[in-house]
Structure 1
């Protein structure tokens, strides 16, 4: 059985494994609606499909498709959930962000950096959260450990989590993907990520990967 959606992926149960494939596996080309200074910025809201599996056999990781069904990001360079370093890569293996597990006292966090000098850290926010059904994670920028640094926030509310900037502005939302045909979801390991305009989605993806590693989802 094949289930089609608007972003051109299909799911075909084969034995006990669900497989997701794009119609096209091409790098994202620049065009209308994109900032030509960066292939990772758009002027409009953009959706992505995150499959929490690697396309490389016997490898852990995840695969990310854009709204056209093109493979745009992948993580498949490790083979264990207990790894301490992973790379978020573009289609042909260019490392966009390298993420490393760090320890600070009683808690662990993940630090990411890229070749342009962007550094971020994702850790659990241990402050009391008003809504008992929600939890939050802090994303700090820079190489220091001062809590007054510019930061972002991940808010997890059941099956949906959002990424917000310091002023509370929504940057991205991630939730389970549902079929546009019958409303059924594709399973726990297939997600939809909506990224707001003028937001670097490679940076957002780096945060999502770090968050998944903290939650032991990768």
Structure 2
């Protein structure tokens, strides 16, 4: 797997966590910044963990997700930096008919008052539709307009688009390495941490057993 993580070093588990992340700060970059291109590996570098390992364009570790719970029905997932500091908490909304996740700044479990950034709700349609999910900004630091995710996450070919149809983040296939390794292109208007947070939410909605259960539910409704 040298092509996947050329400069990777297995990180030590974090001993402490911070309630202040950097996800919110990533949504107000300079306008002249170029999109960030990341390589996402759907695997944790820690033994016996599920999650993600994310590398920048130089092959260095950028983000990590280490989930000790193997269940596809996780209540929340934490996006961390290389040192294990929580950047974002992606939490499942309870008692929601459709899949609904909220992305919070930092470690939402440790914060006295969680700061929500984005709401990600799975698009429900019994007919043909390109939309996978609807994204609603919840923080004043993010644009007030809603976003839509279109395409196919399972095929690693989808994009987060604004009301004008411009892509703020794109998931693209990476040649000859299968579905567990793919590219993530993040526009500076959204930022790399939030783009990765959306990937985590999409993976929970459309990956593994969760996707199969949703397909069976839609089939039941259509019958």
Q: Give the TM-score normalised by the residue count of structure 1.
A: 0.71
For residues 100 and 50 of structure 1, the distance between their equivalents in structure 2, rounded to whole angstroms, comes to 20
Question: Which among 76, 88, 110 is matched to residue 85 of structure 1?
Answer: 76
Question: Which among 165, 168, 193 is matched to residue 168 of structure 1?
Answer: 165
Cα displacement (A) at 1:187: 1.0
1:157-215 deviation per Cα after TM superposition (whole angstroms, max 9, x unaligned): 4540001123322111112211xxxxxx2011000111224431111111111111111
For residues 96 and 45 of structure 2, the distance between their equivalents in structure 1, rounded to whole angstroms, comes to 36
Structure 1 residues 74 and 10: alpha-carbon distance in aligned structure 2, compared to 1, 3 A threshold: same
Q: As a proportion of its length, which structure holds more strand?
A: 1
Aligned residue runs from structure 1 range 59-78, under 5 A: 59-78=49-68
How many residue pairs get aligned? The number is 179
Instruction: Name the stretch that deviates more: 64-73 or 165-174.
Output: 165-174
1:136-174 deviation per Cα after TM superposition (whole angstroms, max 9, x unaligned): 21011228xxxxx63211112454000112332211111
SS of alignment partner, residue 208 of structure 1: helix
For residues 216 and 85 of structure 1, the distance between their equivalents in structure 2, rounded to whole angstroms, comes to 15
Instruction: Could you tell me which runs of 5 or more consecutive residues in structure 1 were left unpaired when the two chains were aligned.
Output: 1-8, 12-19, 27-37, 144-148, 179-184
Higher relative contact order (CA 8 A, sep 6+): 2
1:2-31 deviation per Cα after TM superposition (whole angstroms, max 9, x unaligned): xxxxxxx724xxxxxxxx4232559xxxxx
Tell me which residue corresponds to 2:217.
none
Tell me which residue corresponds to 1:121.
119
Tell me which residue corresponds to 1:22.
6
Q: As a proportion of its length, which structure holds more helix?
A: 2
**Contact 1:78–1:86 at 8 Å: present in 2 too?**
no
CA RMSD, Structure 1 to Structure 2 (Å): 2.9
For residues 133 and 49 of structure 1, the distance between their equivalents in structure 2, rounded to whole angstroms, comes to 28
Aligned residue runs from structure 1 range 39-188, under 5 A: 41=29, 43-80=33-70, 81-115=72-106, 117-127=115-125, 132=128, 134-142=130-138, 150-157=145-152, 158-178=155-175, 185-188=176-179
**Contact 1:46–1:196 at 8 Å: present in 2 too?**
yes
Structure 1 residues 79 and 104: alpha-carbon distance in aligned structure 2, compared to 1, 3 A threshold: closer
Structure 1 residues 133 and 171: alpha-carbon distance in aligned structure 2, compared to 1, 3 A threshold: same
Instruction: Could you tell me which runs of 5 or more consecutive residues in structure 2 were left unpaired when the two chains were aligned.
Output: 11-24, 107-113, 211-223
